[in-house]
Amino acid sequence: MSVPRYAALDGVIVRWEKATVHASTHALHYGTGVFEGIRAYYAPDEDELYVWELDAHLERLVRNMGVLDLREGPSKDQLWDISMKLLRANGFREDTYIRPLVFLGEGTIRVRPQTQRTRWVLLTVPLGSYLGKKVVSCMVSSWTRVSNTMIPPAAKISGAYVNSLLAAMEAARAGYDEAIFLTKEGTVSEGSVENLFIVRKKKLFTPSVSEDILEGITRANVMEMARDMGLAVEERRIPRTELYHADEVFLCGTGAGIVAAGEIDAATDSPRSTRPRPCHWRRNGPCAGQRMPSQS
């Protein structure tokens, strides 16, 4: 990986190694931050980066700041502006990940925030394929998806990602590529960092928002594209057994892209899922995202 030269701290572009915070930072102790994962795709023929769904990601981030009561954080316009400036400053000529994080800074040691101020960073780092494969093996995790009554999974709160990390580590240790979470009721929720779809008789099903999922931007795109293609899409509860009975299962997210789930719990080895679906990227292409202003 090429090491970025610059990062942004509290809205100022600084050298990468200067983007540091104090050890008493509240978020470091209690996970009190909200973040986004955004992708910029490099088009070599044009020597341009194209950012995928920047507006939707920033809107979600600003909305989620309210969940943790992160006051006086950056506006969507500020985040947009600094994303563009940083991409230009780092000048990567490869697919790049954009990571804004808004968090509670230093102050008291108490859990309940009092004197902490809201701080924010923005990083851009080169990132190729997240899972490294188009067809992945999955394990239904023994870890339950963090529920809406615990930490809202829709809010992309930093601390909640320990839940994803535990599931992903467990899956990796067991020899699988990725984990699939169940809700505390035992129905299918999502992957560790992806939403999930199943296909049965040419119809798409995905767990509804009440199933402790992140309401993914890629998920919304997949549903729209599928409907455009004349496919029926339904958001509903998915019992675990349907993972094994489905004609196809796929995971989707900004970081992971769209990957087919082949083997699940070593219970399925049919070639059912070796065709990643749907034709989302093929039709729109990565360049349907926000075009970077020219680097001049």
- Rounded to whole angstroms, how far apart are CA atoms 139 and 230? 31
| Backbone φ, ψ for residue 220 (5° rounding) | -65, -40
State the minimum distance, in angstroms, from the CB of residue 255 to ligand PLP: 6
Does position 214 interact with ligand PLP (CB under 6 A)? The reply is yes
**Which of 216, 276, 278, 289 contacts ligand PLP by CB under 6 A?**
216
- Please identify, among the stretches 98-106, 126-134, 188-196, 273-281, the one whose residues bind ligand PLP according to the rule CB under 6 A: 188-196
Does position 37 interact with ligand PLP (CB under 6 A)? The reply is yes
Output 13 or 222, the one with its CB closest to ligand PLP.
222
Q: Which residue, among 52, 63, 65, has the nearest Cα to 253 in the 3D structure? A: 52
> What is the CA 38 to chain-centroid distance, rounded?
7
State the minimum distance, in angstroms, from the CB of residue 216 to ligand PLP: 3
Using CA of residue 83, residue 80, residue 154, residue 160, what is the dihedral sign? positive
Instruction: Pick out residues in 164-183 that bind ligand PLP (CB under 6 A).
Output: 164
Active site residue 76: no
Does position 40 interact with ligand PLP (CB under 6 A)? The reply is no
Does position 206 interact with ligand PLP (CB under 6 A)? The reply is no
**Which of 91, 126, 255, 286 contacts ligand PLP by CB under 6 A?**
255
Does position 141 interact with ligand PLP (CB under 6 A)? The reply is no
Cis peptide leading into 74, omega within 30 of 0?
Answer: no
Work out the widest C-alpha separation in the chain, in whole angstroms. 57
Does position 96 interact with ligand PLP (CB under 6 A)? The reply is no
State the minimum distance, in angstroms, from the CB of residue 130 to ligand PLP: 10
Q: Which residue, among 132, 69, 60, has the nearest Cα to 100 in the 3D structure? A: 60
Output 253 or 289, the one with its CB closest to ligand PLP.
253
Sequence-ordered strand ranges (E) for 57-150: 96-104, 118-126, 135-144
State the minimum distance, in angstroms, from the CB of residue 264 to ligand PLP: 17
The CA distances from residue 100 to 7, 53, 57, 238, 295, in Å, are 10, 14, 10, 32, 21
Does position 278 interact with ligand PLP (CB under 6 A)? The reply is no
Output 164 or 290, the one with its CB closest to ligand PLP.
164
Q: Going by C-beta distance under 8 Å and a sequence separation of 6 or more, which residues neighbour residue 103?
A: 25, 26, 27, 32, 33, 34, 70, 118, 119, 120, 121, 158
Does position 195 interact with ligand PLP (CB under 6 A)? The reply is yes
Assign 135 to helix, strand or coil: strand
**Which of 74, 253, 257, 262 contacts ligand PLP by CB under 6 A?**
253
Among 85, 156, 201, 203, which one carries the catalytic annotation?
156
Residue 102: both structure tokens together: 């808004």
Active-site residues, by number, are 156
Given the rule CB under 6 A, which residues bind ligand PLP?
Answer: 37, 164, 190, 193-195, 214, 216-219, 253-255
